[in-house]
Structures are given as C-alpha cells and as structure tokens.
Amino acid sequence: MSDLKIALFQTVQFWEDKMENLKHFEVQLKGLATDTDILIFPEMFHTGFTMSVKEMAEPMDGLGVQWLTKMAAKYDCAIVASLIIVEEGNYYNRMVFIEPSGAVNFYDKRKLFTLAKEDNYFSPGKQNTIVSYKGWKLLLQVCYDLRFPELARNKVQHENFDYDVLLYVANWPKKRASHWQALLRARAIENQCYVAAVNRVGKDANELDYSGNSSIIDALGNILAETIDKETITYHVLQKSELHQVREKLPFLKDQ
C-alpha cells in the first residue's frame, strides 16, 4: 500500500473576494510539488469565514467547485476545501474532496459555531463522510467539529479501522491556538490515526488574527509538521507501515 504525500496550503484569505482569492491561490500553487497526493485549503477557502450566505453561496456546479476541479486535474492531486453551498434553499458549510478525475465527495459541517451565529445561517450536516483514496481511508471534518470527539470516534472490527487519516479545514483564531493544538493531538491519539489540519493566516474583516498552526500529527500524537504565522505550503509523507505498527503494538481501540 502506497504512502501518501499531503500538502497543507496555509494561506491568507481576502474577505468575501472570490476572484482575488483565486488569483492569489493560482500564483502560490505554481510551486506545488509535482508528487503531491492531496492538497488541503483552509475553511471557506475563497471567501473567508463569513455569514453573508446569500451573497457568497454557490451551487455545486458553481465557480468554487469548478475552480477546485480544474486545479485537481492540473496538478494531478486530490484537493480538499470547504465553501458555502446552497441547495434547495438551505446553506451548507460544505467540505469537498475532489479527485484529479473530477470525482467529488463532500461532507457538510455538523457542528455549527454558535459564537459566530453560524447556526443562524447554515444547516448542519447529518452524517460523516469517509473517502477512500489511494488505499487510504480519510474522514472529513470542519473547524468547530474538532471540539466534539464523538464525531470522529474511530472503530476497529476484525483488524479493519473505519479510517486512517482525519482531515480538518479551519478558520481558527490565534487567541485559541492552544486549544487547536491540544485537540488535534488528542484526536490523533484517541483514534490511532494521522491528523492533517489546515488553518488560515492573516486577519479577517472582524479583526480576528489567525496564526495557522497547520499541522500533521501521527497516531502517537507526535507533531510531524507544523507551520505558524506565515503563508506557505507544508509537505509531509504519511507512511502506512508506521500506522500499522502503532495499531499492532498498542491495540487500544479493540478494548472499546
């Protein structure tokens, strides 16, 4: 089973300016490593974390998904991001996983951030999404979901784990960065999985600062890669053999 090269795209976001964001991203992606398997953007990738749902929402065949699909094909890698999607009059903070072939999987954020009144504008998702890609199983999660461990609880049956990698996209403020770091490590340890999490940097229209702290963490809770306070693409190769070794030597999840 092949290893998996993850690219964390920790970037600034221009507030509610889709075209400026996409133009900026295209410049930044020119240096993307050619052997990247999965490229991950922050939450609400081309608008920033906004409640302007009527102005910013798109259908699934709109600008955002079209652009992500184009980039997935161009760079021959899967791309992960979230954006505001409208369906049948409901708005969703939807995380998409788009393969180079154009195949799309998605997950709707289940835990809406009440402090920002996200629950007043968005409909919550009702179920998890696990994507199978290149021999790996990946669970999709968005920002505030991180505070609810029950959403990510991994299970094992007959040596078969529900998933191998937990993916988070976020707009998580700098003032709570210590929570972000601690919770990501906890999710990795308790679920015996890799965690790959991408947050934004810069300042938004609400004067909130973001330090990024985009990270890749192994099943023992070790931080394998972390980037703070700068715009960059960070890479790390996830190794299936190391994951198997942890699960075999420390079969904690079997005791559920």
User: For 115-142, how does the pLDDT look when each residue is reduced to its tens digit (9 = 90+)?
Assistant: 999 999 999 999 999 999 999 999 999 9
DSSP state of 76: T
- Mean of pLDDT over the chain: 97
Both tokens assigned to 224: 């394998």
Q: Which secondary structure element, helix H or strand E, spans residue 95, and what is its range?
A: strand 90-98
187 pLDDT band, cuts 50/70/90, is: very high
Q: Provide Rg for the chain, Cα atoms.
A: 17
Strand 136-142 and strand 165-170: the pairing is parallel
Q: Which H helix or E strand runs over 142? A: strand 136-142
Two structure tokens written together for 252: 């904690």
Nearest CA to 130 among 155, 163, 100?
163
Tokens of 227: 């980037």
Cα–Cα distance for residue pair 193/252, rounded to 1 Å: 12
pLDDT in tens, 218-242: 999 999 999 999 999 999 999 999 9
User: What percent of the chain lies above the pLDDT cut of 90?
Assistant: 97
Phi, psi for residue 54 in degrees, rounded to 5 = -65, -35
Q: Where does the pLDDT of residue 2 fall: very low under 50, low under 70, confident under 90, or very high at 90 and above?
A: confident
What average pLDDT score do residues 209-217 get? 98
Query: Residues with catalytic annotation?
Result: 43, 109, 143
| Average pLDDT estimate for 80-105 | 98
What tokens appear for 147 in the block? 């505070």
- The answer to whether 171 and 42 have CB atoms below 8 angstroms apart is yes
Q: What is the mean pLDDT of residues 144-164?
A: 96
Map residue 124 onto helix, strand or coil.
coil
Query: Where is pLDDT greater, at 232 or 157?
Result: 232
Domain ranges of the chain: 4-255
Torsion of CA 113, 116, 118, 121, to 10 degrees: 170
- Considering the four listed CATH numbers 3.60.110.10, 3.30.1300.10, 3.30.390.30, 1.10.10.10, the one that applies to the domain covering 4-255 is 3.60.110.10
So what's the pLDDT on residue 159? 86
pLDDT of residue 1: 53
Rounded Cα–Cα distance for residues 225 and 10 (Å): 12
For residue 116, what pLDDT is reported?
96
Its pTM stands at 0.97
